[in-house]
Structure 1
Amino acid sequence: MIVPITATYAAVVALMMLALAYRVTTFRRRDGIGLGDQGSRDLQVAVRAHANLVEYGPIFVLLLFVGEMNGVGANGLHGAGLLFVLSRFAHAWGMSGGAGGVHPGRILGIVGTWLAIVVMVALLIWNLTQFRF
């Protein structure tokens, strides 16, 4: 069985991870830092922006996959997927723009990320109530 909705969002999340990883590498090369962060605020922020996506991306893509495999409606999957992707862009912008501090993009990003995960969990639970075991 193919899962085109999951494939779409998994590809977008993977590209976002690569872009954020490239940003980390850029700061490492610029500052000559191979391991750790040696107190570089730019590098610390870039590492955390990347790591935050690595922490949330896989569980979201897994929830999306399970939902698609179990027959959750495409509109719900796309709604949660778009919310997640837009929230992750907002979070990355907020991390960069706020230098790791408080920034509206960072706040919107994490709240949207959590909401997208909650939406997927709710869709999965609702979907399960529709099955006769």
Structure 2
Amino acid sequence: MSLEITLAYTILLVFFTLVLAIRVLDLRNSPVTKFLHSPNRQIDPEMLQRAIRAHGNLIEYAPLFLILLLLCEFSNLNSLYLHVAGIFFFLGRLMHGIGFGFMLHSPILRIGGMSLTFLGFLILLILASYQLVIAS
């Protein structure tokens, strides 16, 4: 059995996780990212905390979503619905990560991002619950 849908969204989410991790490293003045900016740059502590939480928030939500997506795909649920859930989740995490990790104030991106994240979860929960009832 091929698990291409889960693999595709795992790749996207891991890539974005790395982007957010590099953002945190940059704000911490890590030697890894020193070449990106001047040595006298001042770091906003609030922006650093926001970047850390944007990264942490993705780390907290993505594994549960990917496990649920994997189980739904393994159960041969409709791939169109799985892609819709995956797109909503990824766009939600992207919006939230950019709105929270790269900007000091962007409630539209944060709220929209969380809404799409929860919508992606909800689609998978409905599909999985329906499958469980039908399989029983």
Normalised by the length of structure 1, the TM-score is 0.86
Structure 1 residue 113 corresponds to structure 2 residue 114: no
Quick one: distance in 2 between partners of 1:51 and 1:118? 21
1:62 aligns with 67
- Cα deviation per residue 1:16-51 (whole Å; 9 max; x = unaligned)? 101000000000116xxxxxxx98112101101100
The aligned counterpart of 2:34 is: none
1:80 is paired with a residue whose SS is: helix
For 2:95, the equivalent position in structure 1 comes to 90
Aligned to 2:9: 9
Would you say the 8 A contact 1:97–1:103 is kept in 2? Answer: no
CA RMSD of aligned residues (A): 1.8
Matched, 1:20 2:20: yes
* Corresponding residue for residue 40 of structure 2: none
> In the aligned structure 1, how far is the partner of 2:26 from the partner of 2:103?
19
1:129 to 127, 133, 136: 133
Counterpart CA distance in 2 for 1:114 and 1:67 is: 17
Q: TM-score, normalised by structure 2?
A: 0.84
Q: List, as ranges, runs of 4+ consecutive aligned residues in structure 1 with deviation greater than 4 Å.
A: none
Identity among equivalent pairs (%): 33
Take 1:96 and 1:53, find their aligned partners in 2: how far apart are those partners? 11
Which blocks of at least 5 consecutive residues in structure 2 are unaligned?
31-42
Partners of 1:118 and 1:125 lie apart in 2 by 10
Contact 2:52–2:101 at 8 Å: present in 1 too? no
Instruction: Please give the alpha-carbon distance, in whole angstroms, between the structure 1 residues aligned to 2:103 and 2:108.
Output: 9
Unaligned runs of 5+ in 1: 31-37
